[in-house]
């Protein structure tokens, strides 16, 4: 964390004001340097009160997802948060960090993206300061063929984390969508750099619509997308939801590495909105219709065909038949 972020974390954790002398001692700098850091934090929107003969106290903080804001909500080992006010894509930043040797669990979070990316080259709409846009560096000991399962694991984690918000019943739509009331609330993207049999790193991108109002979505998305705010009528604590998501993901990712997708398959099925429904699937092999049986042990979609046969689908776009 930066010196300013450390000051915020200390003030947030303290039950009493902290003196400039104490902050200077912790930072290993002068009181004048502390004063400059306090001024910079105030310009960023932190309301820090200076109480005579007592010290500094944090009265209010801006709604952002920086390391200091997330620190109280992080329960696992993934605590290396790289926060950006704006970037073109957290996927690009995380990919560069992965190439530079960033450790597993490094998390890139941006308040806004100018070129956020979704699956199949689509754009991920990324208005400022209302949602979660993050990418995580992972280094799983997997073959490249098994990497798509990481997205399924992330979907389970996202659904479980969102289900902790009262009034929400998230569902999973294979392969990578999280829905609330039939509308998309979160999406997942995995990209990797690998050799024939060895994965160097995976960049897991997760976008979750948290506090976006209807007007924040472009017209073409307003009937197909939603946010936690729209679903509940209440603004959510973005830092708390992000902390729950990272904890849920770290736990399920660990189970997945130990036991494969089978270790989380039953939980995925419990959130599925497709099992037992009639669908059409568009894939590289063409379009086919059938009824969803569920997922197999590798995360492929199992489809019962009208002729009585079953088909295993490893990639495709699913549409529920009306």
The candidate with the shortest Cα–Cα distance to 205, out of 68, 299, 98, is 98
Q: CA 115 to CA 184: how far, in whole Å?
A: 19
**Token digits of residue 165:** 């918000």
Q: Where are the beta strands (DSSP E) in the chain?
A: 47-51, 55-60, 81-84, 107-110, 132-138, 171-173, 177-180, 183-194, 199-208, 278-283, 286-295, 301-304, 310-313, 317-320
Q: What is the residue range of 237's domain?
A: 67-271
Tell me: do 196 and 295 sit in the same domain: no
Angle 215-221-223 from CA coordinates, rounded to 5°: 90
The CB density around residue 37, as the number of other CB atoms within 10 Å, is: 22
Tell me: do 221 and 289 sit in the same domain: no
What predicted TM-score, i.e. pTM, was given to this entire model? 0.87
Tell me: do 79 and 228 sit in the same domain: yes
Q: CA 61 to CA 48: how far, in whole Å?
A: 8
Domain boundary among 19, 44, 60: 60
The candidate with the shortest Cα–Cα distance to 202, out of 276, 147, 277, 126, is 147
Tell me: do 33 and 134 sit in the same domain: no
Domain boundary among 60, 79, 95: 60
* pLDDT of 263: 96
Does the bond joining 37 to the residue before it have cis omega, within 30 degrees of 0?
no
**Token digits of residue 95:** 């990919």
Q: CA 303 to CA 321: how far, in whole Å?
A: 14
Q: Which CATH number characterizes residue 32's domain? A: 1.10.10.10
The pLDDT profile of the chain, 322 residues, written as one tens digit per residue, is 789 989 998 998 898 999 999 999 999 999 999 999 999 999 888 999 998 888 999 998 888 899 888 988 998 899 999 999 999 999 999 999 999 999 999 999 999 999 887 765 677 888 889 999 999 999 999 999 999 999 999 999 999 999 999 889 999 999 999 999 999 999 999 999 998 888 999 999 999 999 999 999 989 889 999 999 999 999 999 999 999 999 999 999 999 999 999 999 999 999 999 999 999 998 877 888 999 999 999 999 999 998 889 999 998 889 988 6
Tell me: do 112 and 228 sit in the same domain: yes
For tokens 């009306």, what's the residue?
322
Q: Tell the burial category of 263 from Cβ atoms under 10 Å away from its Cβ (0-12, 13-18, 19+).
A: middle
Q: What are phi and psi of 45, to 5 degrees?
A: 110, 0
The candidate with the shortest Cα–Cα distance to 80, out of 104, 44, 116, 100, is 104
**Sequence-separated (6 or more) residues with CB below 8 Å from residue 189:** 91, 117, 118, 119, 151, 176, 204, 205, 206
Tell me: do 136 and 200 sit in the same domain: yes
DSSP string covering 110-146, please? Answer: ES-BSS-B-GGG-B----TTSSEEEEEEE-----GGG
Domain boundary among 60, 75, 96: 60
For tokens 């200390």, what's the residue?
10
Tell me: do 289 and 216 sit in the same domain: no
How many domains in the chain? Answer: 3
**Token digits of residue 174:** 């294979």
| Helices vs. strands in the chain: H and E counts, helices first | 9, 14
Tell me: do 196 and 301 sit in the same domain: no
* pLDDT of 121: 64
Tell me: do 30 and 91 sit in the same domain: no
* pLDDT of 157: 98
């Amino acid at each position: 964390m930066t010196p300013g972020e450390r000051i915020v974390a200390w003030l947030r954790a303290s039950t009493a004001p902290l003196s400039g002398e104490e902050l200077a001692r912790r930072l290993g700098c002068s009181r004048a340097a502390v004063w400059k850091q306090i001024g910079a934090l105030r310009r960023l929107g932190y309301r820090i009160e200076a109480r005579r003969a007592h010290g500094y106290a944090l009265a209010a903080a801006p709604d952002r997802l920086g390391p200091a804001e997330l620190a109280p909500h992080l329960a696992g080992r993934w605590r290396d948060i790289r926060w950006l006010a704006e970037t073109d894509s957290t996927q690009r930043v995380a990919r560069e960090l992965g190439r530079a040797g960033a450790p597993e669990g490094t998390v890139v979070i941006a308040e806004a993206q100018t070129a956020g990316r979704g699956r199949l080259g689509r754009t991920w709409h990324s208005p400022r300061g209302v949602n979660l846009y993050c990418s995580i560096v992972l280094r799983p000991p997997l073959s490249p063929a098994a990497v798509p399962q990481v997205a399924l694991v992330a979907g389970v984690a996202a659904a479980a984390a969102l289900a902790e918000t009262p009034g929400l019943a998230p569902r999973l739509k294979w392969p990578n969508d999280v829905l609330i009331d039939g509308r998309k609330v979160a999406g997942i993207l995995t990209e990797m750099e690998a050799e024939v049999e060895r994965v160097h790193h995976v960049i897991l991108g997760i976008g979750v619509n948290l506090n976006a109002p209807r007007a924040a979505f472009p017209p073409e998305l307003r009937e197909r997308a939603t946010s936690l705010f729209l679903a509940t009528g209440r603004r959510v604590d973005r830092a708390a939801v992000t902390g729950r998501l990272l904890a849920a993901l770290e736990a399920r990712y660990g189970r997945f590495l130990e036991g494969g997708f089978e270790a989380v398959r039953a939980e995925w099925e419990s959130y599925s909105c497709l099992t037992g429904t009639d669908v059409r699937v568009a894939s590289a092999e063409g379009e086919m219709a059938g009824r969803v049986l569920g997922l197999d042990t590798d995360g492929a979609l199992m489809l019962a065909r009208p002729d009585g046969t079953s088909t295993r689908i490893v990639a495709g776009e699913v549409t529920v038949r009306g």
